[in-house]
Amino acid sequence: MSDPVLFLLSVVTLLCMPGPTNTLLATSAAVAGVRRSLPLLAGELAGYLSAIIVIRVALEPFIQTEAVQIGFKILVALYLAFTAVRLWNASVATARSIVRTRGIFMATLLNPKAFVFAIVVIPHDVVRVAPYFMAFSACVLTTGFLWLVVGHMAGGRFHSLVPRIASVVLGGFASLILVRVVG
């Protein structure tokens, strides 16, 4: 997708959609505040960039096989289910320790959006891909920050329920992925 406007619209649209990474960002900001959650943005960016580079360099030829796609979906669903169970059993204080930069990195590394970015959105047919990666990085940081703000605003009223709400959302994502694998 070499058209810069279409590229930016695609990136922002995908990043604004609710998903595992955004759920964890919002949860952290709801229970720990925006300022204490800012380091998580580095984990999100590192997760997306790592996934995109690995997919484009090493995995792209193999991704087309159904077995690899199913294996990846199961891995993602298991990670989301594991995180959902941890958040369900967590108090607000414990939720702060569950949502860490490493967890955001892993959720983002395994996020199916990374495959879309790597294979469809970030162009393959341009001489200079660096400006696209820089624009992508700016979009990740900006939309991630907006998810932190949304989480903080929502968390004020439902502070004690946030870990459980996030758990249900992540469990829902895990279930949807598994249903697609089985169905």
Is 150 part of a structural domain of the chain? yes
What amino acid is encoded at 8 in this protein?
A: L
Q: Count CB atoms within 10 A of the CB of residue 6.
A: 11
Residue 155: pLDDT over 90? no
- Over residues 135-157, mean pLDDT: 92
Q: What is the pLDDT of residue 1?
A: 67
Number of folded domains in the chain? 1
Could you list the residue range(s) of the whole structural domain that residue 23 is in? Answer: 4-64+92-157
Residue 158: pLDDT over 70? no
Residue 178: pLDDT over 90? no
Is 153 part of a structural domain of the chain? yes
Q: What is the pLDDT of residue 94?
A: 65
Encode pLDDT of 36-91 as tens digits.
Answer: 999 999 999 999 999 999 988 887 777 777 887 788 778 878 887 887 887 787 66
Query: Is the pLDDT higher at 5 or at 157?
Result: 5
Is 76 part of a structural domain of the chain? no
Is 56 part of a structural domain of the chain? yes
Is 86 part of a structural domain of the chain? no
Residue 92: pLDDT over 80? no
Is 51 part of a structural domain of the chain? yes
Residue 101: pLDDT over 80? yes
Per the confidence metrics, is the pTM higher than 0.75?
yes
Calculate Rg over the CA atoms of the chain: 16
Is 16 part of a structural domain of the chain? yes
- Over residues 142-171, mean pLDDT: 83
Residue 32: pLDDT over 80? yes
Contact at 8 Å (CB) between 165 and 23? no
Is 130 part of a structural domain of the chain? yes
| CA distance linking residue 82 with residue 170, whole number of Å | 9
Query: Is the pLDDT higher at 159 or at 164?
Result: 164
Angle between helices 130-158 and 4-16 (to 10 degrees): 30
